[in-house]
Structure 1
Amino acid sequence: MPSAPPSPHRFDLAAIGAGLPVGSASGALEAAAATGAMVVTAPPGTGKTTLVPPLVANQAEGLTLVTQPRRVAVRAAARRLAQLDGSELGGPVGYTVRGQRQVGRSTRLEMLTPGVLLRRLLADPELPGVAAVVLDEVHERSLETDLLLGMLAEARQLREDLLVGAMSATLDAAAVAAVLEDAAIVEVPSALHELSVSYAPSPAPRLDARGITREYLDHLARTTARAQRAQDTDALVFVPGAREVDEVVARLQGLVGQEVEVLALHGRLPAAQQDRATGGRRPGEAPRIVVSTALAESSLTVPGVHLVVDAGLSREVRRDRGRDMSGLVTVSASRAAAEQRAGRAARQGPGAAVRVYAEADLAGMPAQAPPQITAADLTDAALWLACWGTPRGEGLPLLTPPPPAEITAAEATLQALGLVDAEGRPTPRGTRVARLPIGVREARALLDGAQRLPGRDAARLAAEVVAAISDDHRPSGADLPRLLQDLRAGRAPGTDRWRRERERLTSLAQQAVASRRPAAASAAPISAPSAAEQAGAVLALARPERIARRTGEGSRSYLLACGTRAALPEGSGLLGTPWLAVWEVQRAQGRAADGTGAVVRAAAPLDEQDALLAGEGLLREERTASLEGSTVRARKRRVLGAIELSSTPVAASAEDAVPAILTRVREKGLDALGMDEAATALRARLALVHRELGAPWPAMDEASLLADLGTWLAPQLSHRTTRLDRIDVLGGLRQLLPWPEAAELDQLVPPRLAVPSGNTARIDYPAPGAEDGRPVVAVKLQELFGLAETPRLVRGRVPVLFHLLSPARRPLAVTDDLRSFWGGPYREVRKEMRGRYPKHPWPEDPWTAQATARTTRRAGR
């Protein structure tokens, strides 16, 4: 870490901020910086990224670090500040991104990506030599920036002199200020020039099942070329991803010819091409059209742009935890993003924005994009949080906490990788992996591969594989070994970028080996007889849960250790391979997925023995039992995750019966128990009490009972009853009765109701889940003479619903208001029934008549 020079460089704020709207807030910004924590909100084009960092650096006694969310933005911001400062890049202003660093002894202001800063913070939370940290573009809610905000809030407790700032175009300033413990808030007013907005929807749909349509890209290119000619200015075009950038660039070059320079801008381009796109047009050069992904949306200014053409689409992470898949999907951008993009046209003067979608579509866009922490694979984040001392993020002040299911699954993955222990604390290997400037899975594969692969070139081979999988190369037919051959021979796109990354990773791996603190000293070596299988071993070390075995001879389908099924593409060079190490899998339908619902996009063959070594954390032996008819059958199984390696029948024990029967009941439902009348009646009675009174009376719906089988049903099995038709279900339900409240059960919901005739009638209670169900008593009408008030159950909450029967026990009337029945409908019933049943009493006055279940003659005896 560079140290501050004896005579600290001071930035000329008047020169740097000349003409910038944010300059009018200099006094407020300096006052906020003096408090030690600040939040700055300023619209795009106000110059916050240009002026605030040197302003903070002038007040800080030491190094000031400023994050930008993307590497291209880091370099562009550093280059711009150095130019305004009149100094060389790497002097007072420097930068650091993955694989590149340009700083010196005189550096006072260092631009860097959030990932670089996060690893520095993990290495030493006190950040020695650093006086201030400013997080820019916090509104983007990237995972790393969200974590940094919480970690820096805690770091300030170690160092009260550390200034922490957060900047954004649009954010919930109060929420961010609260994380930083009541930071000072400075709001810079909007300074956009006049902006005209128009709409040019496509006659063809923007998206179909496969993503953005070719017809829409044609329309987008034509619209851009037409608007650029009309405006005669530099233009910035927003599309969702690198593939669309390249396709639109190709279309535009065919439309505008040599009159306009068309440039691509996305994260996969070499730095020189990115810098060319963001550097602005030189005097005498042709007008330019820059086609960019969202990286130019807020964190980057492309000079000279007065026209923006926006497709209104974004590429966002979506997580399918059930299939253990994460991927980028193309969706409508947020309204906030649409405003940010349009505002790029009016940063440096009047501008125009053309939205290549209907105006009505804007209203249907989400207000904001979801925070990345809610949708991303949290494996990396879980390790960083563990190394910070806050496993699962518990206790860390975060704008949005990680979803519990996702962070728990991520921690389980880290345990399988040997990077955290059972309590979620980092292992020594986990601490080492977390600090490497690469993803957690890739870092684990790099270190373990360098240690465990055969031969002197183990570190280089591991680096080659990791460089290929971490840089978005897409192997044809999912065949990663074939891609590696093409990259080595220089036949694949992006070869130069891959070679640079390979050398960087090789150096990291060799340093790990030479350090004599091996990451896998006690682990068995990988045999991997062929180069292709060595690549597979590296993938398996990165993703043991995606070790896969073919489901059948001649099949394209594979079962992954995580339980997902996926198919190799038709014609893949990997067809016929018994074992695979899968890196990428994607949801798919139809023939391509071979009925599995997913297709393999990157994989390598794997030796079976190496599969067991790499997946040792998923290996286990288990005993399973199932009910076949009325007989419990048991087996001893050896599995690698979901992959069954062997299965042997063994004699069933009493302990096998309980889980087997419970499993059958969970699968088939409560009907599997053949519940008798007494158990059914008790369940219905308890359901009504729970409905009316709630806890502690237990819920009796099927889902609740199935979820709690271990409490009420398992004790009835014990070592005695192992047949479904012999289980004492009534006794099991009684296990759920709350005490001492259970003593009141027969008062709340009696099984029978005493009626005026001296008899009792059965009460039929509503089935569990019947929200408006009523307890029903079916009784002869004559047995209720004189009863005026309808009985009510459950402490008077629920009236009984009477089904009044004829002497032949046929229904005459249904009522829950006997007083009204005797006073009205009874007369019609009497008129109709006394001729049909003359031997039974039908008095004119039911109030004074004696209730009876007998005929008139028998009642008179």
Structure 2
Amino acid sequence: MTRSLDLDAIGAGLPVAAHGDEITTALDTGRAVIVAPPGTGKTTFVPPLVASRYSGRVIVTQPRRVAARAAARRLSTLTRTRPGDIASHTVRGESTTTRDTRVEFVTTGVLLRRLMRDPDLTGVDAVILDEVHERHLDADLVVAMVCEVAKLRDDLTVVAMSATVDSSGWASLLGGDELAPVVEVPSALHELEIEWAPASGSPVDSRGVTREFLRHVGNVTVEALDHHPDGSALVFVPGAREVDHVVADLRSRLEGVEVVGLSGSMSASEQDHALSDPGYVRRVIVSTAVAESSLTVPGVSLVVDSGLSREPRLDRGRGMTGLVTVRESRASATQRAGRAARLGPGVAVRCLRAQDWSGMAADPAPEVDHADLVASLLSLAVWGCPRGEGMALPTPLPQDRVAEAEEELRELGAVDSQGRVTERGRQLATVPVDPRLARALADGAPIVGSRRCAEIVAMLGLDDGQVDLVGQWRQLRTGRHPDAKTWRREADRLARLTDDLPATDITDDDAVATVVSLARPGWIARSRGEGSSSYLLAGGTGVDLPRDCPPGLLGQPWLAVARTSRITSGALIRAAVPLSESAALDAGAAMLATETTVTWDGGKARGRRVSRLGAIELSSTPVQPGRAEARRAVLETVRSRGLKVVGLSKDAEYLRCRLALAHRVLGDPWPDVSEEALLSRAEEWLDLDSLAAGRGSDATSGLRGLLGWQESARLDEVLPERITVPSGSRIRIDYPEPGSDAAPVLAVKLQECFGWTDGPTICDGRVRVVLHLLSPARRPLAVTDDLASFWANAYPMVRAENRGRYSKHPWPEDPLTAIPTKRTNRAVGNS
């Protein structure tokens, strides 16, 4: 039986309800963008408005579990129905959905996995994407996938909603060729007063948010409650640990005021209590960013904003996305402050300096800009669009990080070399955790037992800085760890996802090592030498143990690394456990490879058969390389290192200089012998077999082989090695280096050129050879390519300067009639 929806009762007092007709008109196109600030009621009113048009289900996405749960409960209250009758929620490990549900509130992660199971969204008539401005990576993928489904299903309505968003950009994204209609609902805020209360020191140090700053937040809250005695207060801090700290601080200092916490890590009952109407009791709710939007927090007229936000970033220390503390954006600060003025005039106190405002980012950065992409790429591969190619993603995936993440998926056996999903990858994608942890859960349970494996995987998902992983696990088990409750809930959930396999007799240390290595096979590490503190990861990175590492790690040949940190000189291992070689090979089986490598360094080509675990060399055996492999190694080396590795003989270099001049002056068909050109044709002129055998190569013959038969026959005519001068001497020409614009040079004694007026030319008369006229001691006297001018103008001065210095050699007044000679006066006279 389909229940009717009383939209008047649901929308009573909500500003967005006044725009119901405008929204309805927009929905007629099947696409709509709704921009409505917090407090206008979009999350409460728009979903039932959309549902009233259809008989099928309406799915509404929320960025957080607490928001999905609260929105469903709110709509059930307004329709006076039980959860699941009209409104329901589905979040990780929890659902109130029934066959009768009309509006289902889900997290984006839940819808992402549902799309992979059921790409047609069977039984769903509309999808409402709420709070799209937060730009979580899962949400971006869901948007692109839903848009693709809508292209195939004309009956599927898609709506994007946000408090602050680029409406034109989203209208284009949803509408495709035709812009989707946009409905803008004005703000419903009352008068809001902003106050500034900066702390004296930095709020964050290397360990996180400082205790001094949290104490400051508590002080500001106490003072603000005194100055503004009406209504409840909402205090924003970055994370769950800060919530617990400030709650404990305020409870010790406030009387007659109920202090409660609100975060995504709390139980459903704790969250429900924080969001319930306190009646006449004044309350302080200390919350993470979950209360920024999509939630109604009753009775609030005062907001204290720490100015900090916890956002996902690629945590290179753990090799996956983690949460880091950053300065909030102006958009987030505006939304937080607006919570104080929903019901009436309010006050927002920011723990910042007023002058800090202009330096804050306008909007939160899209998660895709800095997040780990491994899980997203697996989702896209399952969807059938490896790397998101061709999809309408709000922000394209950064290709440099795509390649790195895809390599990790190949190590897990989740995708093939083309990025397409494997059957193994489909199985991992069904587990709602990071694919690395999913792999560890699936493969580790049979080795260590389901429960123990689930506990270790849940531990690896925590943001914790402990070095001793086994010790951390024991702390969690006994409840002495601050995250024990959260960890236990996650371990229980993961245990239910595996077959009930009994614990094996493997020790706790080996159990942790096995699961860690299965989660991060690329971080399996082997020592670089006995007793060394330096290790090589299977992924190829060098890492070192810190000086203060636990004694049980130093000297271990193999380690399973769970966390690293970057330092100026490289990387340090921050959490690891000893690992057996057999466990390392089992965990990294997808990275095991045996290959024959052939190298050549100018000597003889050498082959080795190498077994590897990723970048870690396990064994190496000399082998005789095959002819093709040896030739390929020579060719690759020559092309990467240049002609210098070949060691061209002087004759080959001289021939190359001659040919370079011919190509420069005469062009084709004289060959280009520049280094780039010769490297591209190396297999044509180099004897690769001879080089591979270590015998060198007759490069002179090879270079001659580049000539056509006509050019080969005319080589000595066009590019002579030597020129006969008037004295009868045959003197070698110095040709310029390839790539030079210089002219060829003939260095000859001046006395050997008496009577010579024209000077030599080459290259079919196109190039004049420059004469370097030398003294009898072969020192340069003049440089010319015009002998007639030299004899007439420069020679008399040269004669006057040198006849006394070289008196034994002829210096005639008329050089044009003198006998050319390379001998002294006496030798000339005697002859």
The verdict on a shared fold, with TM-score over 0.5 as the criterion, is yes
Match runs of 1:605-754 below 5 Å: 605-625=578-598, 630=603, 632-651=605-624, 716=686, 718-722=688-692
The 1:143/1:727 distance shift into structure 2, 3 A limit, reads: farther
Instruction: Provide, for residues 608-654 of structure 1, a one-character-per-residue CA deviation record: whole Å limited to 9, x for no partner.
Output: 22221221110011234556784555433211112222233445665
- Matching of residue 584 in structure 1 with residue 536 in structure 2: no
Q: How does 1:263-274 map to 2 (within 5 A)?
A: 263-274=260-271
CA shift, 1:135, in A, is 1.0
Choose which of 18, 28, 33 in structure 2 pairs with 1:34. 28
Structure 1 position 533 matched with structure 2 position 510: yes
Q: 1:533, CA displacement in angstroms?
A: 1.8
Looking at structure 2, the residues matched to 242 and 680 of structure 1 have their Cα atoms a distance apart, in angstroms, of 76
Deviations 1:132-162 (A, max 9, x none): 1111111111111111111111212332212
Contact 2:322/2:463 (CA < 8 Å) preserved in 1? no
Give 1:283's aligned residue: 279
Report the Cα distance in structure 2 between the residues aligned to 1:723 and 1:204, rounded to whole angstroms.
70
Partners of 1:382 and 1:392 within 8 A in 2: yes
Using the TM superposition, give the Cα deviation of residue 111 of structure 1 relative to its aligned residue in structure 2, in angstroms: 0.8
2:137 matches 1:143: yes
Which secondary structure state, in structure 1, belongs to the residue aligned with residue 410 of structure 2?
Answer: helix
Shift of 1:765: 8.4
- Once the two structures are overlaid, the 10-residue window that deviates more, 722-731 or 711-720, is 722-731
Name the % identity: 42
Residues 175-208 of structure 1, C-alpha deviation per residue, up to 9 Å, x if partnerless? 3233323432222223333333343443323444
Shift of 1:365: 3.0
Q: Secondary structure at the match of 1:369?
A: coil
Secondary structure of the corresponding residue to residue 261 of structure 2 = strand
Provide the C-alpha distance between the structure 1 equivalents of 2:370 and 2:201, rounded to a whole number of angstroms.
30
Q: Give 2:522's aligned residue.
A: 545
Cα pair 1:319 1:375 within 8 Å, conserved? no
Partner of 1:521: none
Between the aligned partners of 2:701 and 2:295, the Cα distance in structure 1 is 70
**Deviation at 1:174?**
2.7
Check conservation: 2:525, 2:561, Cα contact below 8 A.
no
Q: Tell me what 2:116 maps to.
A: 122
In the superposition, relative to structure 1, how do residues 344 and 564 fare at CA in structure 2: closer, same or farther (>3 Å)? Answer: farther
Aligned pairs (5 A) from 1:46-65: 46-65=40-59
1:399 matches 2:397: no
Show structure 1 runs of 5+ residues with no match: 1-5, 514-524, 691-696, 738-749, 752-759, 768-774, 781-802, 813-831, 841-853
Larger mean CA deviation between 43-52 and 323-332 belongs to 323-332
What amino acid is the match of 1:317? R
Paired residue type of 1:506: A
Choose which of 307, 314, 321 in structure 1 pairs with 2:303: 307
Q: Tell me the equivalent position of 2:464.
A: 474
Query: Are residues 1:353 and 2:351 paired?
Result: no
Maintained 8 Å contact 2:303/2:336? no
CA–CA separation in structure 1 for the residues paired with 2:511 and 2:212 = 43
Q: Matches of residues 248-647 of structure 1 in structure 2 within 5 Å?
A: 248-253=246-251, 256-280=253-277, 282-292=278-288, 294-303=289-298, 304-318=300-314, 326-450=321-445, 452-453=446-447, 458-470=449-461, 472=462, 474=464, 476-479=466-469, 481-510=470-499, 529-567=506-544, 570-572=548-550, 574-576=552-554, 578=556, 582=560, 584-589=562-567, 596-601=570-575, 603-625=576-598, 630=603, 632-647=605-620
Q: Confirm or deny: 8 A CA contact 1:63 1:109 kept in the other structure.
A: yes
Unaligned runs of 5+ in 2: 665-670, 708-718, 721-732, 747-769, 784-792, 802-810, 819-831
Aligned to 1:184: 181
Deviation at 1:167, TM superposition (A): 0.9
* Post-superposition offset of 1:577: 7.7
| Contact preservation (8 Å) 2:520, 2:562 | no
CA distance in 2 between partners of 1:698 and 1:208 (Å): 62
* Alpha-carbon offset, residue 552 of structure 1: 4.1
How many Å separate the matches in 2 of 1:119 and 1:654?
Answer: 52
Larger CA Rg, structure 1 vs 2: 2
Residues 553 and 577, structure 2, Cα contact 8 Å, conserved in 1: no
Please say which of residues 202-211 and 44-53 is displaced more in the overlay. Answer: 202-211
Kindly state the Cα deviation for residue 114 of structure 1 after the two structures are TM-superposed: 0.9
Going from structure 1 to structure 2, the CA distance change for 1:442 and 1:528 (only over 3 Å counts) comes to farther
1:485 counterpart letter in structure 2? R
**Structure 2 SS opposite 1:539:** helix
Letter in 2 for 1:242: A
Q: 1:172 to 1:548 in 2, by over 3 A?
A: same
Residues 667, 30 of structure 1: alpha-carbon distance in 2 compared, 3 angstrom cutoff: same
* Residues 733/393 of structure 1: CA separation in 2 closer, same or farther (3 Å cut): farther
| Residues 857, 90 of structure 1: alpha-carbon distance in 2 compared, 3 angstrom cutoff | farther
The Cα shift of 1:211 comes to 4.4
For residue 317 of structure 1, report the CA deviation from its aligned partner: 0.7
Contact 2:88/2:105 (<8 A) preserved? yes
**Could you give the per-residue CA deviations for residues 758-794 of structure 1, whole angstroms, max 9, x where no partner exists?**
xx99778889xxxxxxx677999xxxxxxxxxxxxxx
TM-score (normalised: structure 1): 0.74
Hey, what's the Cα distance between the residues in 2 that align with 1:336 and 1:733? 69
- Report the CA distance shift for 1:198/1:473 in structure 2 as closer, same or farther (over 3 A): closer
Counterpart Cα distance in 2 of 1:297 and 1:711: 65
- Going from structure 1 to structure 2, the CA distance change for 1:651 and 1:101 (only over 3 Å counts) comes to same
Aligned partner of 2:223 in structure 1 is: 226
Distance 1:245 1:503, change over 3 A: closer
| Contact 2:654–2:735 (CA under 8 A) maintained in structure 1 | no
- 2:60 aligned residue: 66
Q: Does the C-alpha gap of structure 1 residues 654 and 259 become closer, same or farther in structure 2, counting only changes over 3 Å?
A: farther
Letter in 1 for 2:574: V
Q: CA RMSD in A?
A: 4.9
The 3-state SS of whatever aligns with 2:419 is coil
State the TM-score, normalized to the length of structure 2.
0.76
- Distance change (3 Å), C-alpha of 1:101 and 1:645: same
Moved more, 225-234 or 526-535: 526-535
Residues 1:215 and 1:529: Cα distance change in structure 2 (over 3 Å): closer
Q: 1:363 to 1:607 in 2, by over 3 A?
A: same
How many Å apart are 1:462 and its aligned residue? 2.6
| Alpha-carbon distance in 2 for matches of 1:537, 1:54 | 50
C-alpha contact (below 8 Å) 2:643/2:679 kept by paired residues: no
SS of 1:191's equivalent in the other structure is coil
Q: Which residue of 1 aligns with 2:789?
A: none
- Output the CA distance in 2 between the equivalents of 1:132 and 1:660: 60
Q: 1:219 to 1:167 in 2, by over 3 A?
A: same
Please give the alpha-carbon distance, in whole angstroms, between the structure 2 residues aligned to 1:173 and 1:729: 68
Q: 1:154-173 alignment to 2 at 5 Å?
A: 154-173=148-167
The equivalent of 1:755 in structure 2 is: none
Distance 1:735 1:609 in 2: 56
Which amino acid is 2:457 matched to? V
Count the aligned residue pairs.
748
